Amino acid sequence: MGRRFVDQRRRDRFYRAAQREGLRSRAAFKLAHLAERLSLLSAGDRVLDLGAAPGGWSLVARDRVGPRGRVVAVDPRRIEPAEGVHVVHARVGDPELSARLGPEPFDAVLSDMSPSISGAYATDHARSVDLVRSAFTLAEQVLRPGGVFVAKVFAGDLVDELMDDLRPSFERLVRTKPPASRAGSSEIYLVGAGFRRRRPAAERPTPPTGAAPPRVPSHI
Ligand SMILES: C[S@@+](CC[C@H](N)C(=O)[O-])C[C@H]1O[C@@H](n2cnc3c(N)ncnc32)[C@H](O)[C@@H]1O
């Protein structure tokens, strides 16, 4: 660990707060902020946390959903066991994963997945967009209609196209950057609310003319 990195970290108020509060990651503050500001994750919700190690987001989610809820944390890296968090050691993109998650749908699918960093920004950006696409492919199988999708992505020229592809599947899709996300970091978060399960074109009814517009949650 370089001296500059250690100094920077010591000055970082979110890092210090995470240490003080015994949180597993400073990333926990990002989800806490998003959840608070956008009223995400309610008592009793079932939450799927992708790219969950070391477990900061999972603990924030667990505390929000309470004892009636459920948090399933997925990562190939080890996650220390925690009460109320069910760990699945797996890689998103593995075609067997959705079967391992069981038949009950989730109210929220979260992804804080990061690619291994190559150092070439265009490559890392493209990999991070691919991770969001993999998370969304899984969400399409396990998210309940009306559910919420939150995903981290590294900003860049592929994000507009990514959002255009995701937008039809949600009543509302926004991009945001929580305060705990370092100013110098390129990460942003996409938040989709009101998931619309898309059926194959052949099964879709022709929409009636004058149909009411879809309900959009007012808090996002
Ligand atoms: C920034 S960390 C997540 C931090 C976590 N949200 C927290 O608060 O503790 C990113 C994680 O993404 C995971 N990851 C990357 N690619 C993945 C994949 N295909 N499937 C599952 N996890 C993945 C990495 O193993 C890493 O643990």
Per-residue pLDDT, 210: 53
108 closest CA partner among 75, 69, 80:
69
Kindly name the residue from 33, 46, 64, 152 that is annotated as catalytic. 152
Residue 183 has pLDDT above 90, yes or no: no
Confidence class for position 10, pLDDT limits 50, 70, 90: low
Tell me: pLDDT of 32 over 80.
yes
Helix (H) / strand (E) element for 74: namely strand 70-74
Nearest one of 157, 120, 115 to 132, comparing CA atoms: 115
Range from 21-30, 60-69, 120-129, 152-161 carrying the lowest mean pLDDT? 21-30
112 CB near ligand 1 (under 6 Å):
yes
- Specify the pLDDT at position 46: 98
Q: What is the pLDDT of residue 215?
A: 47
DSSP state of 197: P
Report CA(136)–ligand 1 centroid distance (Å).
15
Summarize the confidence of residues 93-110 as an average pLDDT: 97
Per the listing, tokens 């609310």 go with: 193
Q: If you average pLDDT over residues 64-89, what whole number do you get? A: 97
* Domains, the chain, ordered by start: 29-197 (3.40.50.150)
Residue 204 in this model has a pLDDT that exceeds 90: no
Cβ-count burial of 127 within 10 angstroms (0-12 exposed, 13-18 middle, 19+ buried)? middle
What does the mean pLDDT of the chain come to?
89
By the 8 A CB rule, do 135 and 113 touch? yes
Average pLDDT for residues 56-78, to the nearest whole number? 97
Q: Strand pairing partners for 35? A: none
20 pLDDT tier (thresholds 50, 70, 90): confident
3-class DSSP state of 188: strand
Catalytic, 152? Answer yes
* DSSP element (H, E) containing 27: none
Q: Which atom of ligand 1 is nearest to the CA of 134?
A: 19
What is the percent of the chain with per-residue pLDDT over 70, rounded to a whole number? 81
